[in-house]
Chain A
Amino acid sequence: SAVISQKPSRDICQRGTSLTIQCQVDSQVTMMFWYRQQPGQSLTLIATANQGSEATYESGFVIDKFPISRPNLTFSTLTVSNMSPEDSSIYLCSVGGWSSTDTQYFGPGTRLTVL
């Protein structure tokens, strides 16, 4: 299993600003994923971040809006840029695809409110 922490746990931001969310894992992992969970909705994958390569974004998400860094095998950041109230959501990072279980482990999430 993996223990994942995220910072900040929550934040309230003004429209037009940017917020960087950090994700730290207690072990080295190849793949990290960033998800968004809007109020009352399920999780939607934003991008996959592999160390040493550019993140792969899902349809509807672009690097200019959600730049991602993956400097090493235990850490990643997601930035929500030029925020609008529609970006209010919970952002979660996850790791998985290791060993033979194919399970994913999630961080506690960052609750973002944009005014």
Chain B
Amino acid sequence: SQKIEQNSEALNIQEGKTATLTCNYTNYSPAYLQWYRQDPGRGPVFLLLIRENEKEKRKERLKVTFDTTLKQSLFHITASQPADSATYLCALDTQGGKLIFGQGTELSVKP
């Protein structure tokens, strides 16, 4: 069955550094992959979508890569800020618009 794995341990970094989060998947070839941010007590908020024919996508301080050979996506936040502290989820598409989510990685940016 389809499986998605993200860094299980929380990621703690210093303000100003680049945070890199990993999303690996198996037994599937998604047409696209998405990254979401979730704050405590809130629903996920969409950040970026990258399609299978795209290697990299950027949005302001965010960068996502998608390696369909390695079956991996990397999510980077450059010049990180304490306000970036949250849980980040990756999600893969399945048929009919349904998404399968990873368990999320908790990021903490210290001032």
Chain A residues engaging chain B, CB cutoff 8 angstroms: 4, 31, 33, 41-45, 48, 92, 94, 96-97, 101-109, 111
For the complex, would chain A's binding face be called helix, strand, loop or mixed by DSSP majority?
Answer: strand
With A102-B93, A106-B45 given, is the CB distance from A45 to B98 under 8 Å? yes
Closest to B104 in A: A42
Chain B interface size range = 20 to 34
Asked if B97 and A31 make an inter-chain contact with CB atoms under 8 angstroms apart, the answer reads yes
Asked if B97 and A102 make an inter-chain contact with CB atoms under 8 angstroms apart, the answer reads yes
Identify which of residues 62-90 in chain B touch chain A, using a CB-to-CB cut-off of 8 Å: 89
Known: A102-B32, A108-B41, A109-B43. 10 other contacts (CB 8 A): A41-B103, A42-B101, A44-B101, A48-B97, A92-B43, A96-B97, A103-B49, A106-B43, A106-B45, A111-B41
> What are 10 sample pairs from A and B whose C-beta atoms fall under 8 A apart?
A4-B43, A42-B102, A45-B99, A48-B96, A48-B98, A97-B97, A101-B49, A102-B49, A104-B46, A108-B42
Asked if A43 and B89 make an inter-chain contact with CB atoms under 8 angstroms apart, the answer reads yes
Asked if A104 and B89 make an inter-chain contact with CB atoms under 8 angstroms apart, the answer reads no
- CB contacts (< 8 Å) of A31 on chain B: these are 96-97
Q: Report, nearest first, the 7 A-B pairs whose CB atoms are least far apart.
A: A106-B43, A97-B97, A42-B103, A42-B101, A43-B101, A103-B46, A106-B44
Identify which of residues 49-70 in chain B touch chain A, using a CB-to-CB cut-off of 8 Å: 49
